[in-house]
Structure 1
Amino acid sequence: MKAAACARYVARNMAELRYLTGYPPHLIEQVAALRDQGRLGDWLQQRYPDGVHDIQSDRALYDYAQALKQRGLKNTPPLAKVLYDSQQHPVRGTLGTHTRAARVQGGKLKTRHEIRIGALFRDAPEPMLRMIVAHELAHLKESEHNKAFYQLCEHLAPGYAQLEFDARVWLIWRESA
């Protein structure tokens, strides 16, 4: 019976920690322990003491993305739109999207690039917003999630891999709070 109870505990934890699938077991165990002790929010507060950023409107988000693009991706196509989208949600599998829409304009084919960021990132610390915006901007140059793509993400948002992990922990904390 003890083995069955242990198996149920592991299954429950993995369902609740689904954002950490693929990470090493010792990291998952550390996050689970912090969550079970009610200290996950404290850990995040210690890592991100500034709390919520002030980029709350779609216009501010567009300007933020443009500034990041200018700093690291000068020779890429222009952005038509950057906005917060309440349809983007981690449970449905997306935190943000980059779309290309080709349209015929006169005798030319024009491509519009749009970025939509999950509205839940309005409440995130700024480095996590930077990580998700950098991820979507990187798709302007690299469409696949390959080594070059992640190098570009790291260029746009130094410490990208850690920020991605922290954002996943933040999502777990939001759902458990």
Structure 2
Amino acid sequence: MLTSLKYIQGYPEHITTPVTQLAESGKLTQWFEQKYPQSHQFKSEKALFDYAMQLKNRYMRKTAPLSKVVYDNKIHLVNNALGLHSYVSRVHGSKVKAKNEIRISTVFREAPEPLLKMIVVHELAHLKEKEHNKAFYQLCCHMEPDYHQLELDARLFLICLELKGS
């Protein structure tokens, strides 16, 4: 089994078998690039922040404000994650200032827009739901109805990146 297929471990056999066959035949990357022919245009951190704020304002107006949305080249390697939501509290005199930050792995700088949206939606959902529970995934699906398919496709994107690198 290819080591890059670690991203789909835990998926049922009716999903893993065709992916394994495509990967072993060298056709997975071609299939993926046909499904998603181009990457998004949100390359700068300002554009990424504006994109996240547009989604937040559309679906989650009443949640805590976001102070930062950035690409982070350490996420994928260190945390074995694709994005992170952090809540930072700082004491300034007698006041406590809280900031919500979202960090997206830099591998998504060149990803197709639907995959970037899935990651941003996931991290935005953490503003309201801290745990990966039923309410969390319902919120993700409210913001992006194809959330679960896009989550699988993001994993296929990571497999394709590894296959291109080897």
TM-score, structure 2 as length reference: 0.94
Shift of 1:105: 3.1
Distance in 2, matches of 1:104 and 1:88, equals 27
1:103-131 deviations in Å (ceiling 9; x for gaps): 12342322100000001101100000000
Shift of 1:16: 2.6
Distance in 2, matches of 1:77 and 1:89, equals 26
- RMSD of equivalent CA atoms: 1.4
Distance in 1, matches of 2:77 and 2:33, equals 21
Matched, 1:118 2:105: yes
Shift of 1:156: 1.5
Query: Relative to 1, partners in 2 of residues 1:91 and 1:46: Cα closer, same or farther, differing over 3 Å?
Result: farther
| Superposed counterparts of 1:5-154, under 5 Å | 12-13=1-2, 15-49=3-37, 51-89=38-76, 92-154=79-141
Distance in 2, matches of 1:110 and 1:76, equals 16
Shift of 1:42: 2.1
Mean Cα deviation higher: 92-101 or 127-136: 92-101
5+ residue gaps, structure 2: none
**Which amino acid counterpart does residue 102 of structure 1 have in structure 2?**
S
5+ residue gaps, structure 1: 1-11
**Pair member with larger Rg:** 1
Percent pairwise identity: 52
Shift of 1:92: 4.6
* Alignment correspondent of 1:3: none
TM-score, structure 1 as length reference: 0.88
Distance in 2, matches of 1:155 and 1:48, equals 23
1:40-76 deviations in Å (ceiling 9; x for gaps): 1222122223x11110000000000000100110100
**Which amino acid counterpart does residue 40 of structure 1 have in structure 2?**
L
Shift of 1:88: 1.3
Distance in 2, matches of 1:168 and 1:36, equals 16
Distance in 2, matches of 1:137 and 1:94, equals 15
**2:146 maps to which of 159, 165, 168:** 159
